[in-house]
């Protein structure tokens, strides 16, 4: 999708338990996620957020994790199986021109887009695809690393989201990050 995509081997560092010191998955998504929800996670890497999302979605929920890198998804599937969460997590390999979740149209309750939109070739296209997959009233937690994304670039992402049918409802504090909660109207 982009030359800026995080190399697959960095996934091991990003999935490290040490990351919890500044990004606790459960605390970050708890206000937006309930048991039974369908969750979309683009760019899951090796599952730092995916496994907690699956636990929180519960046995009646599911997480659809979409990545451009097969190696990331391979490790994610192994980690999910080891954690006995494989049945709640569906992995999909994206292509250069699509995240491949057209079949989810109007079924997603919550989207976690953490440290991924800045790697997309088109933020506008991503937000359009995510909006099409999300139910009316569904939410997205958009989080970008402050070291990679400036306030100006983040503002451009929020504008692209607005044009795709998302409304910014809040700007929560996420350590070392720029963040926004978006709602599909």
* pLDDT tens digits along 104-135: 999 999 999 999 999 898 999 999 999 999 99
pLDDT on residue 51:
95
Residue 97 burial by Cβ neighbours in a 10 Å radius (0-12, 13-18, 19+) = exposed
Q: Model pTM?
A: 0.88
pLDDT on residue 97:
84
pLDDT at residue 14 above 70?
no
pLDDT on residue 31:
96
Residue 178 host element (H or E) = strand 177-184
Domain ranges of the chain: 32-184
Average pLDDT over residues 5-24: 58
pLDDT band for position 4 (cuts 50, 70, 90) = low
Residue 123 host element (H or E) = helix 123-133
Q: Which residue has the higher pLDDT, 163 or 6?
A: 163
Average pLDDT over residues 87-102: 92
State how far the Cα of 123 lies from the Cα of 160, in Å rounded to an integer: 6
pLDDT at residue 156 above 90?
yes
pLDDT on residue 1:
38
pLDDT on residue 107:
98
State how far the Cα of 18 lies from the Cα of 119, in Å rounded to an integer: 23
**What are 44's strand-pairing partners?**
none
pLDDT at residue 177 above 80?
yes
Topology of 32-184 in CATH?
A: Rossmann fold (3.40.50)
């Amino acid at each position: 999708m982009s030359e800026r995509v995080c190399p697959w081997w960095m996934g091991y560092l990003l999935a490290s338990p040490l990351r919890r010191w500044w990004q606790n998955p459960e605390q970050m998504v708890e206000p937006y996620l309930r048991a039974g929800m369908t969750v979309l996670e683009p760019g899951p890497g090796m599952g730092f957020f995916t496994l907690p999302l699956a636990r929180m979605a519960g046995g009646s929920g599911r997480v659809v994790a979409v990545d451009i890198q097969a190696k990331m998804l391979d490790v994610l599937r192994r980690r999910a199986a080891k954690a006995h969460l494989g049945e709640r997590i569906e992995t999909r390999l994206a292509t250069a021109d699509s995240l491949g979740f057209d079949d989810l149209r109007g079924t997603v309750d919550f989207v976690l887009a953490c440290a991924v939109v800045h790697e997309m070739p088109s933020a506008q296209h991503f937000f359009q695809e995510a909006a099409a997959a999300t139910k009316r009233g569904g939410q997205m937690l958009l989080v970008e690393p402050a070291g990679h994304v400036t306030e100006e670039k983040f503002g451009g992402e929020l504008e692209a989201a607005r044009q795709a049918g998302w409304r910014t409802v809040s700007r929560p504090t996420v350590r070392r990050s720029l963040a926004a909660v978006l709602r599909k109207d």
